[in-house]
Structure 1
Amino acid sequence: MQRTRCKICGLTRPEDIQAAVKAGADALGLVFYPPSPRAVTIDQAVELMQAVPPFVVTVGLFVNPEPEWVEAVLSRVPLDLLQFHGDEDEALCRQFHRPYIKALRMKPNLDPVVEARNWPTAKGFLLDAYQPGVPGGTGEQFDWKRFPGGTDQSWILAGGLTPDNIRQAVQATQPYAVDVSGGVEASRGIKCPTKMTEFIANLAPGDH
């Protein structure tokens, strides 16, 4: 069984990036969605990227962005991967010529395997809890029984994950990767080094 990878999202401080990397994070997420309490500006992102060492993937999160905003970010921030967390169609997601993942909010009766066919160029799909009017970061879980299994797709589990439930979550869903933000925070946008370390240690005991 392959190792479950981990992205820590919503980083806003260089010291949090350093702590996330030290804890063993595979990917780091920066939020370019101004309404979010974890959003960063382009200038902040430039500073944060300087704290990222080699072999760690950087991910930029967008929600229904104007293409010009994505281009403005990419002109100064050398992101490895884009993450679209709104109602973006495939044409928008792929036009930036960067690998991308698409977030799917697990609305009642949504079949993620069927829904994923709308983005054939996506590198993977992040499944998050559905809360009306909130594009992500709800801190809520969805029913893990709905998580797809037995497909070749790279499914990423998100929503309400914490150091206390991550081991159970991985056992229940067997995801390619997990994505955590609020579950490892001291306060909104401020990460807790202890929680990040515990989260990754509990994610796959002995792997890191």
Structure 2
Amino acid sequence: MRPTMSPLVKICGLTTPESVDAAIRLGATHIGLVHYEPSQRHVDLRTAAELRKRAGPHVKVALLLVNASQQLTGEALSMVRPDIVQFHGSETPEWLTVVKRLTPAEIWKAIGLKDAETLTRMQKYHGIAHRILFDAPAAALPGGTGTRFDWSLLKNHRHTMDWGIAGGLTPANVAQAIAETGAPLVDVSSGVESAPGVKDMDKIAAFLKAVGR
């Protein structure tokens, strides 16, 4: 069932002041900064802090971490001060609970949605994560691969947590994804790029228009 309001939109993997400015100007509600060296969208913590400051109060800023150490997580929270910490690895509910005590930021957990059993297993994050982000099943890199999951897995699912969808979304298919899943938030990265890690402002505009923003 399609939401009665336009879904929230997160443009992830931003790396430049220009892309941050464009995402805000074009109507994104959230932006994502990736701190994970293997990613083509990786930004160091100093750059992430500068981009977060540039965004100001205009959007919510998510910092994406993947199996980060306790020391790195602490440094990232202190330097960047994100609105959201998005965990994209194999982080446990116990670790998220620890981080939740250390920061006022929202805690998001990305889940690779492989099958119906995944929807049962993810309940272990109930009461811990503020939002579950359904993504394509794990590949060589977590997220940003342009691969989608089977949207029908979410049809008629009764959600017990705030949630959103990611994975293979583009300006051409996001409206269909929303119609099929009822997603209250959509997250895009590679689907609005002209090359890996290079955001395309026209594609960002088209994506937001397709969502209804």
Bin for the TM-score computed over the shorter chain: over 0.9
Asked whether the 8 Å contact 1:94–1:100 carries over to 2, the reply is no
Matched, 1:24 2:2: no
Matched, 1:10 2:13: yes
Rounded Cα–Cα distance in structure 2 between residues aligned with 1:131 and 1:152? 23
Counterpart in 1 of 2:167? Answer: 159
Letter in 1 for 2:209: A
Rounded Cα–Cα distance in structure 2 between residues aligned with 1:144 and 1:96? 30
1:131-182 Cα distance to aligned partner (Å, 9 max, x none): 4443222201111101253434222111100001111111111111000000
Aligned-pair CA distance for 1:53: 3.2
Matched, 1:104 2:111: yes
Q: Percent identity?
A: 36
Measured at CA, do residues 133 and 191 of structure 1 come closer, stay the same or move farther in structure 2, by a change above 3 Å? Answer: closer
Runs of 4 or more, structure 1, over 4 Å off, are none
Aligned residues: 204
2:211 corresponds, among 200, 203, 206, to 203
Rounded Cα–Cα distance in structure 1 between residues aligned with 2:27 and 2:108? 21
Unpaired segments of 5 or more residues in structure 2?
Answer: none
Comparing 149-158 with 96-105, greater Cα deviation is found at: 149-158
Aligned-pair CA distance for 1:35: 0.8
Aligned-pair CA distance for 1:3: 2.6
Matched, 1:170 2:172: no
Letter in 2 for 1:119: Y
Matched, 1:130 2:130: no
The equivalences for 1:79-118 within 5 A come to: 79-97=82-100, 98-112=105-119, 114-118=120-124
Rounded Cα–Cα distance in structure 1 between residues aligned with 2:87 and 2:52? 20
Rounded Cα–Cα distance in structure 1 between residues aligned with 2:72 and 2:113? 27
Comparing 128-137 with 185-194, greater Cα deviation is found at: 128-137
> Which structure's residues are more often helix, by fraction?
2
Rounded Cα–Cα distance in structure 2 between residues aligned with 1:65 and 1:131? 17
Aligned-pair Cα RMSD in Å: 1.5
Rounded Cα–Cα distance in structure 1 between residues aligned with 2:80 and 2:138? 30
Counterpart in 2 of 1:72? Answer: 75
2:152 corresponds, among 145, 156, 172, to 145
Letter in 1 for 2:67: N
Measured at CA, do residues 101 and 190 of structure 1 come closer, stay the same or move farther in structure 2, by a change above 3 Å? Answer: same
Asked whether the 8 Å contact 1:13–1:190 carries over to 2, the reply is no
Asked whether the 8 Å contact 1:16–1:190 carries over to 2, the reply is no
Asked whether the 8 Å contact 1:12–1:40 carries over to 2, the reply is yes
Secondary structure at 1:51 match in 2: helix
